[in-house]
Amino acid sequence: MKIGIVDTTFSRVNMGAMAVDEIRRHASVAVERITVPGVKDLPVACKKMIEERACDIVMALGMPGGVDKDKMCAHEASQGLIKAQLMTNTHIIEVFVHEDEAKNENELAWLAERRTREHAVNAVKLVLYPEALVKEAGTGQRQGFDDAGPARR
Amino acid sequence: MKIGIVDTTFSRVNMGAMAVDEIRRHASVAVERITVPGVKDLPVACKKMIEERACDIVMALGMPGGVDKDKMCAHEASQGLIKAQLMTNTHIIEVFVHEDEAKNENELAWLAERRTREHAVNAVKLVLYPEALVKEAGTGQRQGFDDAGPARR
Amino acid sequence: MKIGIVDTTFSRVNMGAMAVDEIRRHASVAVERITVPGVKDLPVACKKMIEERACDIVMALGMPGGVDKDKMCAHEASQGLIKAQLMTNTHIIEVFVHEDEAKNENELAWLAERRTREHAVNAVKLVLYPEALVKEAGTGQRQGFDDAGPARR
Amino acid sequence: MKIGIVDTTFSRVNMGAMAVDEIRRHASVAVERITVPGVKDLPVACKKMIEERACDIVMALGMPGGVDKDKMCAHEASQGLIKAQLMTNTHIIEVFVHEDEAKNENELAWLAERRTREHAVNAVKLVLYPEALVKEAGTGQRQGFDDAGPARR
Amino acid sequence: MKIGIVDTTFSRVNMGAMAVDEIRRHASVAVERITVPGVKDLPVACKKMIEERACDIVMALGMPGGVDKDKMCAHEASQGLIKAQLMTNTHIIEVFVHEDEAKNENELAWLAERRTREHAVNAVKLVLYPEALVKEAGTGQRQGFDDAGPARR
């Protein structure tokens, strides 16, 4: 079992290091890490992690900026990540933190860390404990900010 | 004949359980179910259900949030689901309930259940009784809220 | 020569029946028809008509609703239809009538019928009389409402 | 060497005829021409020109209307044209003239002709004289309206 | 090791020449350069550089105009570049400078040069010194304008 981690130099938080750390806490698996310039470079990098380095799942970590052009980049990257998954029949967990989701740098760093760590746990569950996710179905899980919880009737 | 069900932990309603229940009422078929974190994880999960678990049709169940970023995620997921279908020549019935379609949590839960159950019937018809759908052609069917009905001349 | 017709139960007009009727008036060809729930189910259904039922051309008939979410569904369906064509090297004539193109139900029914019938003629020309289309090049043809005509200099 | 020309009956100017004429002025190559109903029919038609009629490059000529729905059609067509190129490793020169780029029918006809002819020259250069394009790199070339020219420092 | 450079005649700055120059300063590698008309022609041109000219990485250089239609062209080009990468398992570094990012022609020329040169360094690192990028992970690197830097906690 091998988990791939790909992050960016564009991000203002070292999300890759956090992902590696969190995965190590939950599973004894091999971990490979690389870094690319920005989110648009993630899709091919993740696909190469799967096809050239035999990763069983990959985390794609990025921090898109807050202006319209950045939103479009994130959108294009997301489409590419979905395509890469379909071409490889392998999950790639996208962890994007948009700079404008946080009120200040401090919250941004907090949010990036928490979302990265919570998604690292999801990645481990997806490949090692899929039945754990079925138990959480429909419970309004969120990564980063608080969970929404199930809708009360 | 095997029907696959994929839902999410992000959803605030256990749509997967409802889909399994409804399918069981209408057909004696095998049913496989898995759960992924969010709607963007659905495309590859559905494709794997088809290619690795031999499903003849899959239901992709999700509940996108109400803000712009969530709408974009739903759009990307939908594009991926269409692509997955084209790559496999197999139908994937998308059942998305947008959080802002309902006025409150109670209606959200009601809508998610009704849309899921009505689409489960569609899935059964598509693989077992396709001629039943031809009879409903152009009749303004809706899933969840009331049917629009045929346009009167 | 075989022409495939795929329409939806979502549509408020039986566009599939009209397409079959119009094609029969213009050509002695085999016609296959199926119906799916909505426009997002059209791409894979059309691809299956080409690859599993040997259709030489397919008409994809749908009636997207008038709100933003419906526009997005139509957009995703259109992208899928183009992709399906590229994967099969076969034309799929998209005939979409947006509910908000018409002022009332009566005009909607009229528009859906006229656009469907005019595009059925296009489908016949594309596979049987391609030179007829070259003669109409640049003449501002429209399907449904009046033609725009050539730009006068 | 063979150049393919695909235009539409939707266009209000016979762009296909102009492209054929201009190419003949610049190169002794075979030319194939077909016409399809609208811009969304261009991607598969161009791909068939490449794969079934052995064209070395294709010009895709269209005139999208001025309303939002037309803009979306043009966008979908453009995405399809790029995909067709990637699937064939062959250039397809997109020549789209938006109806709302011109103030009146006279200017529309003028613009369509000039843009078509200038892009026909580009198509010839791409397949026969690629080094001529390198000499124009970064010079702010435009097709139709006046060139922007290089940015002065 | 061979690096491909593709730029456009539409651009108002000779970005291709700058990229070639910068790469030569940092690595003793073969460099191939071609020029196409506009950004939408970049995806297939880059893919051909990889598959027909054996480039190990490609830089795609373009300068989209400032109006809405130009933004859409850039978006379509970006999607195509990501797709080309996924089809080839090879990085293509997109370097787009939007005309409206700069206040005047002078700044536009400055920005295009600086972004091109900084991304040329990224391209060299990606293929020759990938570990150098891991060291910059999460440091808020920008190409062109000033770096954002890491988020302070």
User: What pLDDT is recorded for position A123?
Assistant: 98
User: What pLDDT is recorded for position A66?
Assistant: 87
> From the CB of residue C28, how many other CB atoms can be counted at a distance below 10 Å?
7
User: Which pLDDT tens digit goes with each residue over C138-151?
Assistant: 999 999 999 999 99
Q: CATH homologous superfamily for A2-135? A: Lumazine/riboflavin synthase (3.40.50.960)
| Torsion A19-A20-A25-A31 (CA) sign | positive
D touches A, CB cut-off 8 Å, minimum 3 pairs: no
Mean pLDDT across chain C: 97
User: Which pLDDT tens digit goes with each residue over C103-123?
Assistant: 999 999 999 999 999 999 999
Q: Quick one: average pLDDT of E39-45? A: 98
Per-residue pLDDT at C66 exceeds 90:
no
User: Which pLDDT tens digit goes with each residue over D100-152?
Assistant: 999 999 999 999 999 999 999 999 999 999 999 999 999 999 999 999 999 98
**Number of residue pairs across C and D with CB atoms under 8 Å?**
114
CA separation, residue E114 to residues A35, A40, E13, E43 (Å): 22, 20, 12, 23
Contact D151 E106 (CB under 8 A): yes
Which residues, 6+ apart, have CB-to-CB distance to E102 below 8 Å? E108, E110, E111
User: Which pLDDT tens digit goes with each residue over C20-63?
Assistant: 999 999 999 999 999 999 999 999 999 999 999 999 999 999 99
* Residue D33 · residue D16 · CB < 8 Å: yes
Q: Quick one: average pLDDT of B99-111? A: 96
Q: Quick one: average pLDDT of B35-58? A: 98
Q: Quick one: average pLDDT of E70-79? A: 97
Contact D109 C148 (CB under 8 A): no
Is C65 in the D-facing interface, judged by CB distances under 8 Å?
Answer: no
- At E59 the three-state DSSP class reads strand
Collect all residues of chain B within an 8 Å Cβ-Cβ radius of residue A150: 12-14
Collect all residues of chain E within an 8 Å Cβ-Cβ radius of residue D85: 43-44, 80
Collect all residues of chain D within an 8 Å Cβ-Cβ radius of residue E47: 86, 89
CA separation, residue C2 to residues C125, C127, D22 (Å): 13, 10, 38
CA separation, residue C9 to residues C24, C35, C62, E65, E136 (Å): 23, 7, 9, 43, 54
**Number of residue pairs across D and E with CB atoms under 8 Å?**
114
Is D37 in the C-facing interface, judged by CB distances under 8 Å?
Answer: yes
* Residue D151 · residue E13 · CB < 8 Å: yes
Select the residue of E9, E76, E106 nearest D136 (Cβ to Cβ). Answer: E9
A touches C, CB cut-off 8 Å, minimum 3 pairs: no
Per-residue pLDDT at B94 exceeds 90:
yes
pLDDT-derived band at E153 (thresholds 50, 70, 90) equals: confident
Return d(Cα D86, Cα E51) in angstroms, integer. 11
Structure-token pair, residue C15: 């566009």
Return d(Cα E9, Cα D103) in angstroms, integer. 27
Mean pLDDT across chain B: 97
Which residues, 6+ apart, have CB-to-CB distance to E4 below 8 Å? E31, E32, E33, E34, E46, E49, E50, E53, E55, E57, E58, E59
> From the CB of residue C136, how many other CB atoms can be counted at a distance below 10 Å?
18
| E strand intervals along E9-90 | 30-36, 57-62
Contact B37 A152 (CB under 8 A): no
| Cross-sheet strand order for the sheet of D30-36 | D30-36, D2-8, D57-62, D92-96
User: What pLDDT is recorded for position E49?
Assistant: 98
Q: Quick one: average pLDDT of E29-49? A: 98
DSSP state of B63: -
pLDDT-derived band at D20 (thresholds 50, 70, 90) equals: very high
Residues linked to residue D7 through DSSP beta bridges, in sequence order: D35
Structure-token pair, residue C91: 């034309």
Enter the pTM of the model.
0.97
Residue-by-residue pLDDT tens, chain A, 153 positions: 999 999 999 999 999 999 999 999 999 999 999 999 999 999 999 999 999 999 999 999 999 998 889 999 999 999 999 999 999 999 999 999 999 999 999 999 999 999 999 999 999 999 999 999 999 999 999 999 999 999 987
Percent of residues, chain E, with pLDDT higher than 70: 100
What is the pairing mode between strands B30-36 and B2-8?
parallel
Minimum Cα–Cα distance from C126: chain D residue: D36
**What is the residue type of C143?**
Q
